[in-house]
Amino acid sequence: MEKNSVFEIDGENISLEELISSFKNSKMKKGSESKAEQKRKQEQELKPYQAELIKLQQHIEATDQKMIILFEGRDAAGKGGTIRRVTRYMDEKHYRIVALGRPTAEQKSQWFYQKYIQHFPRGGEIVLFDRSWYNRAMVESVFDFCTKKEYDDFMKGVKGFEKDLTRQGTIVVKLYYSVTKDEQANRFERRKNDPLRQWKLSEIDMQAQERWDDFTNTKYTMIKQTHSHNAPWTVVRSNDKHKARLESLKVILNAVNYDQRDESLDFTLNADVVISGAREIEIMDAQRASSGKFIG
Residue 24 belongs to a domain: no
Average pLDDT, the chain: 89
Residue 128 belongs to a domain: yes
Domain extent at residue 269:
29-291
CA distance 101 to 107: 11
CA distance 99 to 260: 32
Predicted confidence band at 32 (pLDDT cuts at 50, 70, 90)?
A: low
DSSP alpha helices (H): ranges in 6-15? none
Given this model, what pLDDT does residue 83 score?
98
Residue 50 belongs to a domain: yes
Residue 19 belongs to a domain: no
CA distance 201 to 175: 22
Residue 13 belongs to a domain: no
CA distance 200 to 207: 14
CA distance 52 to 249: 9
Average pLDDT over every residue of 107-131: 97
Q: What is the CATH number of the domain that holds 278?
A: 3.40.50.300
Predicted confidence band at 292 (pLDDT cuts at 50, 70, 90)?
A: confident
pLDDT at 123 over 90: yes
pLDDT at 262 over 60: yes
Given this model, what pLDDT does residue 33 score?
62
Residue 3 belongs to a domain: no
Average pLDDT over every residue of 240-266: 97
Predicted confidence band at 21 (pLDDT cuts at 50, 70, 90)?
A: low
User: Residue 162 CA to chain centroid, in angstroms?
Assistant: 21
120 or 3: which carries more pLDDT confidence?
120
pLDDT at 87 over 50: yes
Instruction: State the DSSP string of 178-226.
Output: E--HHHHHHHHHHHHH-TTTGGG--HHHHHHTTTHHHHHHHHHHHHHHH
Residue 279 belongs to a domain: yes
Tell me the sheet residues that pair with 9.
12
CA distance 178 to 77: 6
Q: Are 48 and 265 in contact (CB under 8 A)?
A: yes
Predicted confidence band at 11 (pLDDT cuts at 50, 70, 90)?
A: very low
Residue 6 belongs to a domain: no
pLDDT digits (tens, 9 = 90+) for 124-158: 999 999 999 999 999 999 999 999 999 999 999 99
Q: Are 178 and 77 in contact (CB under 8 A)?
A: yes
Q: Could you give the number of structural domains in the chain?
A: 1
